[in-house]
Amino acid sequence: MSAILVIEQLLNGLQSGIMLFLMAAGLTLVFGVMGLINLAHGSLYMVGAFAAAAASAATGSFFLGLVAALIGAAAAGAIIELTVLRRLYARDHLDQVLATFALILIFSEGTRWVFGSFPLFLDIPDLLSGPVTLPGGIQYPLYRLTLILIGLAVAAGLFWLIARTRVGIRIRAGENDREMIAALGVDIDRLYTFVFALGAALAGLAGALVGAIQSVQVGMGEPVLILAFVVIVIGGIGSIKGALIGALLVGLTDTLGSIFLPQLFRLFMDPAAASQIGASLASMAIYVLMAAVLIWKPTGLFGAKA
């Protein structure tokens, strides 16, 4: 096994991890600020991917597609926040789970109704296609490298937004004491809609970016949603930093596990059985990771509140 393969897989893990972060960041913000568990976050990811696929098919431009993904997902997020979700902030988690489960059904079947059951394709733009040679002579797809850079840039922007801007101060204050900041004259309803639309736009962006390397289809959001749940459980609910670390851990564990676990078992088993057992274990590796973190820290790595 060469060093090149290891570095390639590390980059792949980083890429899937940073895309997971875009999903998990919105989820953890919404939970931290509004106390809402939103299963329909995966639907917003799907909305972003479909908006991008439809817009880039109509205009021929991938970048207009990305803009459409951001706007489409943010709009869908704002609409469900205004019509449904704000009635749920004061309810218990069971009601939130059920209502957002209902939203998944509506979004998924609605999308199937409009676009049909066949997957759409979103092509990587010519500008970003093809491999790039990294230092050390490693060939790596330019598009995946771009995803890593976009993800890191968004992460940095998000940290800046939360830590340095007035909106960020309000978001953090809203997490701690909503009555107090409402009393200080902050329009809490508008703040909540903004936070929700922001999270939705991040999910939509991730959907569009990943949609170009996978296919754009109904139901694409839920597996990612569940991975994002694993991420925020590992990182600690409400913590953006935890979401970033958790996402990278999950991305790397998933990618490296599916490559190296079968090879590990091949050392002392026959190849067929080794790849069988290795693949089974690799598909469960991130959940084992989650269980291990929970035994060690029941509220996640960076979760202070119980």
Partner 1 sequence: MTRESYVNLACLAGLILIPLWAHVSDEPFTITLATRAVILALAALGLNIALGIGGLVSFGHAVFFGIGGYAMGILAHHAQNYTPIAEWPFLIEGTKSMPIIWLLATVVSGIVAFLIGLLSLRTTGVYFIMITLAFGQMLFFFSISWAEYGGEDGLAIYVRNGFPGLNTLVPLQFYGLCLAILLLALAFQWRLAKSPFGLALNAARQVPNRVKAVGLNPFKLQLVAFTISGMITGLAGALFADLNRFVSPTMFSWQLSGEFIVFIIIGGTARLFGPVIGAALFVIIEHVLGGISDYWHIWFGFLLLGIVLFGKGGVIGLLAGGAKAHD
Identify the residue among 60, 110, 116, 131 touching partner 1 (CB under 8 A).
110
Any contact of residue 87 with partner 1 (CB under 8 A)?
A: yes
Stretch in the footprint of partner 1 (CB under 8 A) among 89-97, 150-158, 190-198, 204-212: 89-97
Residue with tokens 């004491």: 177
Q: How many amino acids of this chain bind partner 1 (CB under 8 A)?
A: 45
Q: By C-beta, is 85 or 122 nearer to partner 1?
A: 85
Identify the residue among 222, 263, 269, 301 touching partner 1 (CB under 8 A).
222
Any contact of residue 172 with partner 1 (CB under 8 A)?
A: no
Q: Convert 259-271 to b/e letters by CB count within 10 Å (16 or more is b).
A: bbbbebbeeeeee
Any contact of residue 306 with partner 1 (CB under 8 A)?
A: yes
Quote the tokens at residue 137: 């002579």
**Smallest gap, in angstroms, from Cβ of residue 227 to partner 1?**
8
Residue with tokens 């019509």: 83
**Smallest gap, in angstroms, from Cβ of residue 77 to partner 1?**
16
H/E/C letters for each residue in the chain?
CCHHHHHHHHHHHHHHHHHHHHHHHHHHHHHHHHCCCCCCHHHHHHHHHHHHHHHHHHHCCHHHHHHHHHHHHHHHHHHHHHHCHHHCCCCCHHHHHHHHHHHHHHHHHHHHHHHCCCCECCCCCHHHCCEEEECCCEEEEHHHHHHHHHHHHHHHHHHHHHHHCHHHHHHHHHHHCHHHHHHCCCCHHHHHHHHHHHHHHHHHHHHHHHHCCCCECCCCHHHHHHHHHHHHHHHCCCCHHHHHHHHHHHHHHHHHHHHHHHHHHHCCCCHHHHHHHHHHHHHHHHHHHHHHHHHHCCCCCCCCCC
Q: By C-beta, is 65 or 238 nearer to partner 1?
A: 238
Give the separation between CA 86 and CA 97, rounded to whole angstroms.
14
**Smallest gap, in angstroms, from Cβ of residue 100 to partner 1?**
9
Identify the residue among 20, 104, 198, 245 touching partner 1 (CB under 8 A).
104
Intra-chain end-to-end CA distance of the chain, in Å: 44
Mask for 17-36, x = binds partner 1 (CB under 8 A) = --------------x-----
Identify the residue among 6, 102, 149, 163 touching partner 1 (CB under 8 A).
102
Identify the residue among 237, 243, 261, 274 touching partner 1 (CB under 8 A).
237
Bridge partners of 131, per DSSP, are 141
Any contact of residue 295 with partner 1 (CB under 8 A)?
A: yes
Any contact of residue 157 with partner 1 (CB under 8 A)?
A: no
Any contact of residue 118 with partner 1 (CB under 8 A)?
A: no
Stretch in the footprint of partner 1 (CB under 8 A) among 67-75, 141-149, 202-210, 224-232: 224-232
Identify the residue among 58, 60, 63, 93 touching partner 1 (CB under 8 A).
93
**Smallest gap, in angstroms, from Cβ of residue 115 to partner 1?**
12
Any contact of residue 10 with partner 1 (CB under 8 A)?
A: no
Stretch in the footprint of partner 1 (CB under 8 A) among 18-26, 84-92, 163-171, 192-200: 84-92
Do residues 253 and 261 make contact, with C-beta atoms less than 8 angstroms apart? no
Which residues are at the interface with partner 1 (CB under 8 A)? 31, 37, 84, 87-88, 92-95, 97-99, 101-106, 108-110, 112-113, 222-223, 226, 229-230, 232-233, 237, 276, 279-280, 283-284, 287, 290-291, 294-295, 298-300, 306
